[in-house]
Amino acid sequence: MIPATMALLLAGGALIGFLLAVLGAGGSILLLPLLVSGAALPTKAAVPLSLLVVTLLALGNLGPYIRRRQIAIKPALVLGLPALAGSWIGGSLVKADLIPEAMQLGIFAAAALFASWLLSRPSALGQAASPRRPGGSPLALAGQGILVGLLTGIAGVGGGFALVPALVLLAGLPMQLASGTSLLLISTNSLVALAALGYWPAAQLPLLLPLVAGGLVGAVVGQRLAPHLPELQLRQGFAALLIGSALLTGYEAWQHHQRLPSPPRPTANRQPLFPARWSPGTPVSPLLLCAAAPHRPFRQLDPPPPARP
């Protein structure tokens, strides 16, 4: 492995682990562009590797939230069960090659921009420091779970950047409780999507070591700082991170679209009158000989002489 690539993966893994510890989300937002743009992996190889790394880091960050009892079981079930079904469907669509690579990246970029808009709304920012409030409709939460699951299976992301806004805005959870619940859902959704893909990234497993090592360091730092960081600034920083990741991934999707081969132009299927190599023994149709003969005008014949008596 190139030292520059290893250093990039270490730094990226540390930032991803820190974000997962502090926000309960954000790891896969950086991980997929990091693998595609930084490590130059194709999307087909980056998606299962991203799911594997996010699963390990999410499980590693889940312990402190369990000890602080910052996991909401009921919203996790209402949002998580439909998300599992969506993850399996999305992974099966990718496995069947029904979704091209450029569309995978484009879907990821659009979803990141939408989640950023949800978090940066004035009404959402104003409610960041408020106590827990009544949640929205369970049907809306379940529908969001299906969309998050589809995104997990298609784009190879844990879905935390969509799970946290759903838990905050639809379930009415405070940020810390939503972060812990999101980590639980991220790990389960990623495992289901990885199973649906049916592809184990064996050739890319050496990249797993620097990502996980950096992620563990970032997770330790994030777990110490998470209880002391203001929630409003966390949401604002998370929204800015979503915009930057969406722009980078959208650029990658545009590049993949530009590299698609253009369809060949149809050409008339014309057959030559004679073979390319003709020999005296090769049979040729008389009609073709007449068609290929030079044109000569007809000559008017003189009338026959009169018969002698």
Residue 124 CA: distances (Å) to CA of 109, 117, 121, 172, 174: 21, 10, 5, 11, 11
User: Could you report the per-residue pLDDT of 65-100, keeping only the tens digit for each?
Assistant: 888 888 998 888 998 899 899 989 988 888 888 888
What tens digit of pLDDT does each residue of 167-184 get? 887 788 887 788 889 889
pLDDT value for 117:
80
What CA–CA distance (Å, rounded) separates 31 from 241? 12
pLDDT at residue 273, as a whole number: 47
Q: How far is CA 300 from the centre of its chain?
A: 81
DSSP state of 262: P
Least Cα distance to 12 among 210, 250, 219 occurs for: 210
Residue 89: its pLDDT value, please? 92
Higher-confidence position of 211 and 260? 211
pLDDT at 263: 54
* pLDDT score of 230: 77
pTM: predicted TM-score of the whole model, two decimal places: 0.68
Q: Domain ranges in the chain?
A: 3-258
What's the token pair of residue 212? 């996980």
Neighbours of 140 (CB within 10 A): 15
Q: Which two tokens stand for residue 187?
A: 């790990």
Q: What's the pLDDT tens digit per position in 246-262?
A: 887 787 778 777 776 65
- Tell me the mean pLDDT in the region 207-222: 89
